[in-house]
């Protein structure tokens, strides 16, 4: 198990690359994007995931880069303030807790710097076939020459290619939550000063908050709707769909639509969970959203990816070359943690409302990492 291929250079894949590199393994990371991905929302590092970040040597840096929100306002469709809070925000929960909210791109950059030369990165490429043999997995890439690896880890998100190749069509495993989400950046034309605004009308709405010392905005737009076919999930098709749902909203929708059209970092996808009976098959194993995504509504996607990376690395180290045993122990330890975090989106009132602080406190600490 010395030679490991990780598909996906996001949070889970990069954390695992660092942890496996520390064990002396040869790590290759393949990433479909041509370069590290920019943009994205602020992510939350909570509970036991903070312990993983500390083990990675990034806790102080993550704290230094955290957002500095002072509070939030909830607006009606015309922009009138209906509620305000200086104690909590929808994106991060209570402002006086020990959790860390940090921009995804900032945290991924920190992880990549920690990996350094400890892994080979293949950008602009993807896996097209997996052929397992007794001595390893022969991997065919879209561009690079075929190679053989001891193990393959799918840390490639909701629409995981590794999961499709190893387990079958994604429709078997994705549980849609009848929502879609779009995230994009813009200049701070609202003049927000470490303050969030949230607006919802009907089944659509958005949250807006400033980043980069209040020079930029991150806009998170959500709207109701069922699953989309592959042809409707292209960036341009999604951008048009988002614009159609955003246009009827009032307040600052005209300027937000302009920012949407111009945003180079636009991202959109369904809000969904991944439910699977098992996360490994042969020498392939899934990590994070690829195997057990809890959806953005849980606020725990980052935590699951980080903790999953740590547990998988630990079990590979303990298994003395037996990947079947390592994968079984990984799942045994992670399954209860995943179950309680996926349950955060269940039994809530209005779709898209945050989980209760009590439920989140239980979920974010529902696993013990071994020393």
Q: Tell me the β-bridge partners of 31.
A: 123
3, burial (CB in 10 Å: exposed 0-12, middle 13-18, buried 19+): middle
Task: Judge whether 338 and 42 are in contact, CB under 8 Å.
Answer: no
Report DSSP letters for 212-263, one per residue.
TTTTEEEEEEEEE-----GGG-SHHHHHHHHHHHHTT--TTHHHHHHHHHH-
Per-residue confidence (pLDDT) for residue 347, from 0 to 100: 59
Q: In angstroms, rounded to a whole number, what is the distance separating the alpha carbons of residues 164 and 148?
A: 19
Q: What angle do CA 299, 272, 232 make, to 5 degrees?
A: 125
Per-residue confidence (pLDDT) for residue 233, from 0 to 100: 79
**175 Cβ contact partners less than 8 Å away, ≥ 6 residues apart:** 272, 273, 274, 275
Q: In angstroms, rounded to a whole number, what is the distance separating the alpha carbons of residues 143 and 128?
A: 9
- Single out the residue of 271, 273, 265 nearest to residue 40, CA to CA: 265
Q: Tell me the β-bridge partners of 272.
A: 176
Using CA atoms, how far residue 229 sits from 128, 238, 283, in Å, is: 21, 11, 30
* pLDDT tens per residue across all 371 residues of the chain: 699 999 999 999 999 999 999 999 999 999 999 998 888 899 999 999 999 999 999 999 999 999 999 999 999 988 999 999 999 999 888 898 899 999 999 999 999 999 999 999 999 999 999 999 888 999 999 999 999 999 999 999 999 999 999 999 999 999 999 999 999 999 999 999 999 999 998 889 999 999 999 999 999 999 998 888 877 778 889 999 999 998 889 899 899 999 999 999 999 999 999 999 999 999 999 999 999 999 999 999 999 999 999 999 999 999 989 999 999 999 999 999 999 999 999 855 444 566 778 888 899 999 999 86
Category of 266 on φ-ψ map: left (φ > 0), alpha (ψ -120 to 50) or beta: beta
Give the relative orientation of helices 357-364 and 323-342 as an angle to the nearest 10 degrees: 170
End-to-end CA, the chain = 22
Per-residue confidence (pLDDT) for residue 349, from 0 to 100: 42
- Single out the residue of 143, 157, 344 nearest to residue 233, CA to CA: 157
Q: What angle do CA 336, 341, 347 make, to 5 degrees?
A: 115
Q: Tell me the β-bridge partners of 186.
A: 217
How many C-beta atoms surround the C-beta of residue 270 within 10 A?
A: 20
């Amino acid at each position: 198990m010395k030679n490991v291929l990780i598909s996906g250079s996001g949070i889970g894949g990069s954390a695992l690359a660092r942890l496996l590199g520390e064990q002396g393994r040869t790590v290759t990371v393949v990433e479909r994007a041509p370069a590290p991905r920019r943009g994205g929302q602020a992510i939350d590092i909570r509970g036991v995931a903070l312990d993983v970040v500390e083990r990675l040597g990034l806790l102080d840096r993550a704290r230094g880069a955290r957002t500095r929100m002072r509070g939030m306002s909830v607006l009606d469709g015309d922009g009138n303030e209906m509620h305000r809070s200086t104690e909590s925000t929808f994106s991060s929960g209570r402002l006086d807790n020990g959790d860390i909210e940090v921009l995804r791109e900032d945290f991924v950059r920190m992880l990549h710097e920690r990996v350094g030369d400890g892994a080979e990165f293949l950008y602009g490429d993807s896996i097209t076939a997996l052929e397992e043999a007794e001595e390893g997995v022969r991997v065919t890439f879209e561009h690079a020459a075929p190679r053989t690896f001891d193990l393959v880890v799918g840390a490639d998100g909701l629409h995981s290619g590794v999961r499709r190749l190893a387990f079958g069509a994604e429709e078997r495993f994705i549980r849609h939550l009848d929502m879609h989400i779009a995230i994009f950046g813009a200049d701070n034309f609202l003049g927000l000063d470490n303050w969030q605004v949230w607006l919802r009308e009907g089944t659509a709405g958005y949250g807006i908050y400033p980043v980069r010392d209040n020079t930029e905005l991150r806009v998170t737009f959500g709207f109701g709707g069922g699953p989309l076919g592959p042809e409707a999930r292209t960036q341009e098709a999604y951008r048009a769909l988002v614009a159609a749902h955003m246009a009827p909203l009032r307040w600052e929708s005209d300027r937000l639509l302009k920012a949407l059209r111009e945003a180079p970092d636009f991202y959109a996808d369904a809000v969904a969970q991944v439910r699977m009976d098992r996360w490994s098959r042969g020498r392939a194993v899934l990590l994070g959203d690829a195997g057990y995504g809890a959806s953005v509504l849980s606020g725990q996607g980052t935590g699951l990816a980080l903790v999953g990376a740590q547990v998988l690395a630990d079990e590979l180290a303990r298994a003395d070359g037996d990947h079947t045993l390592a994968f079984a122990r990984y799942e045994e330890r992670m399954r209860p943690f995943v179950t309680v975090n996926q349950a955060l989106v269940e039994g809530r009132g209005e779709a898209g409302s945050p989980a209760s602080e009590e439920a989140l406190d239980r979920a974010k600490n529902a696993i013990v990492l071994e020393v």
